[in-house]
A = this chain, B = another copy of it.
Amino acid sequence: VPPHPSASTLRVAAAQIPNVVGDLEGNARRIGDAMAWAEDQLADVVVFPELALTGYPLADLSAREDFVDRAGEVLADLARRAGRTAAVVSTVSRVPPRRSWDTRERSVAIGAAVLCDGEVRGVYHKVLLPNYEIFDEARNFAHGDRPGLVWRIGDAIAGIAICEDLWSGDGPPERQSAGGARILLVPNASPFHREKPTGRLELAAQVARRNGTPVVYVNCVGGQDELVFDGGSLVVDADGELLHRAPQFAADRFVLDVPLGRGRPVHEPACTVHTRPARERDPLPRPEPVAPPSDDEQVWDALVLGTRDFVRRNGGTTVALGLSGGIDAAVTAAVAADALGPEQVLGLAMPGPDTAPEELEDARELAELLGIRFAAVPLRRPTAILADELAGVLEGDLDDRASGALEARMRAAIIWAACDQLHALPLATGNKSELSIGSATLHGDMAGAFAPLKDCRKTLLHRLARLRNARGPAIPERILDRTPDELPTDSDGSGPAYADVDAIVERYVEQGRTVEELVAAGFDESVVRGVLQLVDDAELERRQMPPGVRITARAFGQDLRMPITHAWRPFEAEQAEIAVDVPTLVNVS
Contact = CB atoms under 8 A, between A and B. Distances in A.
Interface of A: 20-26, 55, 57-61, 63-67, 69, 99-104, 128-132, 135-140, 143, 164, 167-169, 171, 223-225, 309-310, 312-318, 343-344, 346, 348-349, 364, 367-368, 373-378, 381-383, 385-387, 389-390, 393-394, 396, 398-399, 401-403, 405-406, 409-410, 412-414, 416-418, 420-424, 442-443, 447, 449, 512, 514-516, 540, 543-547, 560-571, 573-574, 576-578, 580-586, 588
19 contacts: A20-B567, A22-B569, A23-B571, A26-B567, A59-B562, A102-B137, A103-B164, A104-B130, A313-B567, A315-B576, A343-B582, A364-B585, A373-B585, A377-B386, A382-B383, A399-B420, A403-B417, A424-B582, A547-B564
A423 B101 contact: no
A510 to B, nearest CB: 12
Contacts of A130: 102-104
Given A25-B570, A578-B318, A373 B583 contact: yes
A374 B586 contact: yes
Given A402-B417, A443-B412, A143 B101 contact: yes
A574 B316 CA distance: 9
The 7 closest A-B pairs by CB, nearest first: A376-B588, A22-B568, A402-B420, A409-B413, A23-B567, A23-B571, A22-B566
Contacts of A449: 540
Contact of A563 (B59, B101, B377): B59
Contact of A423 (B132, B374, B578): B578
Contacts of A544: 544-546
B424 A580 contact: yes
A417 B389 contact: no
A65 B102 contact: no
How many identical chains are in the complex? 2
A568 B377 contact: no
Given A57-B563, A223-B565, A343-B582, 14 more contacts: A26-B571, A60-B560, A101-B138, A103-B171, A313-B565, A315-B578, A367-B585, A373-B582, A374-B584, A376-B586, A409-B412, A423-B578, A424-B580, A543-B547
Nearest to A106: B132
Given A416-B443, A447-B443, A567 B64 contact: no
Contacts of A424: 580, 582
A59 B139 CA distance: 15
Contacts of A402: 417, 420-421
Residue among A169, A346, A387 with most chain B CB within 10 A: A346
Contacts of A414: 386, 390
Contacts of A581: 422
A61 B563 contact: yes
Given A65-B514, A376-B586, A406-B416, A129 B143 contact: no
Contacts of A103: 128, 130, 164, 167-169, 171
B416 A314 contact: no
Contacts of A574: 312
Contacts of A132: 102, 104, 139-140
A393 to B, nearest CB: 4
Contacts of A375: 393, 583, 586, 588
Contacts of A60: 560-562
B224 A563 contact: yes
Contacts of A313: 565, 567, 571, 573
Contacts of A569: 22
A520 to B, nearest CB: 13
Nearest to A368: B585
Contacts of A128: 101-103
A32 to B, nearest CB: 16
A317 B406 contact: no
Contacts of A560: 60
B567 A22 contact: yes
A20 B418 CA distance: 43
A588 B447 CA distance: 24
Contacts of A568: 22-24, 61, 64, 67
A443 B447 CA distance: 7
B61 A566 contact: yes
Given A138-B101, A418-B390, A565 B131 contact: no
A331 to B, nearest CB: 21
Contact of A582 (B223, B385, B422, B512): B422
A141 to B, nearest CB: 10
A421 B390 contact: yes
A421 B443 contact: no
Nearest to A394: B421
Contacts of A171: 103
A421 B512 CA distance: 36
A29 to B, nearest CB: 11
A573 B382 contact: no
A22 B563 contact: yes
A556 B401 CA distance: 33
B317 A577 contact: yes
A174 to B, nearest CB: 12
B138 A59 contact: no
